[in-house]
Amino acid sequence: MKTSIANLLDGKGYEIVKLLQGLEVPRTEAISIACLVCSEEMTSQNIEKASGLRQPEVSIAMRPLRERGWVEERSEKKNSDKGRPVKYYKLVVPFDVIVRTFETKALRKNMEIVEALRQLKEITGVNSG
């Protein structure tokens, strides 16, 4: 799905960021994921332009995403041999796999909370109901 850089984090992208942050995903990671969901592949510079993040923030956000195996990074030399190579990022797993990961984490956390509440009631003799 192609989206212009200027509109990348309007509408759908913004909603993805907001929802991921609600799942306790760090802001820069949520923004980076949203950018990549809304585009097939992006350069680090395009992510910066679309999101308002600075270059170091993009690099830091991409590290855990690469470690989880969600994002692939490739470098490509510019036309001249001068300067740093351009970094390209793309999601290498379907977004529904990422969503299921957060879903599993949230369900596990909720089960732990329910169990802690059950134990508190048992210890204190509080009736449920």
Of the candidates 110, 98, 111, which has an alpha carbon nearest to the alpha carbon of residue 19? 98
Residues 89 and 103 in one domain: no
Residues 112 and 60 in one domain: no
Residues 87 and 99 in one domain: no
Q: Find the domain containing 108 and state its range.
A: 94-129
Residues 21 and 60 in one domain: yes
pLDDT at 7 over 60: no
Summarize the confidence of residues 31-38 as an average pLDDT: 92
Instruction: Provide φ and ψ at 92, rounded to 5°.
Output: -115, 0
Residues 88 and 99 in one domain: no
Summarize the confidence of residues 71-88 as an average pLDDT: 85
Residues 31 and 56 in one domain: yes
Residues 128 and 87 in one domain: no
| Number of domains present in the structure of the chain | 2
Please give the share of the chain, as a percent, with pLDDT higher than 90.
71
Summarize the confidence of residues 49-78 as an average pLDDT: 93
CATH at 18? 1.10.10.10
3-state secondary structure of 90: strand
Alpha carbon 19 to chain centroid distance?
10
Q: What pLDDT score does 1 carry?
A: 41
Residues 17 and 37 in one domain: yes
pTM of the shown model? 0.79
Summarize the confidence of residues 92-119 as an average pLDDT: 95
Sign of CA dihedral 27, 30, 35, 36: positive
Residues 88 and 104 in one domain: no
Q: What pLDDT score does 12 carry?
A: 85
Q: What pLDDT score does 4 carry?
A: 46
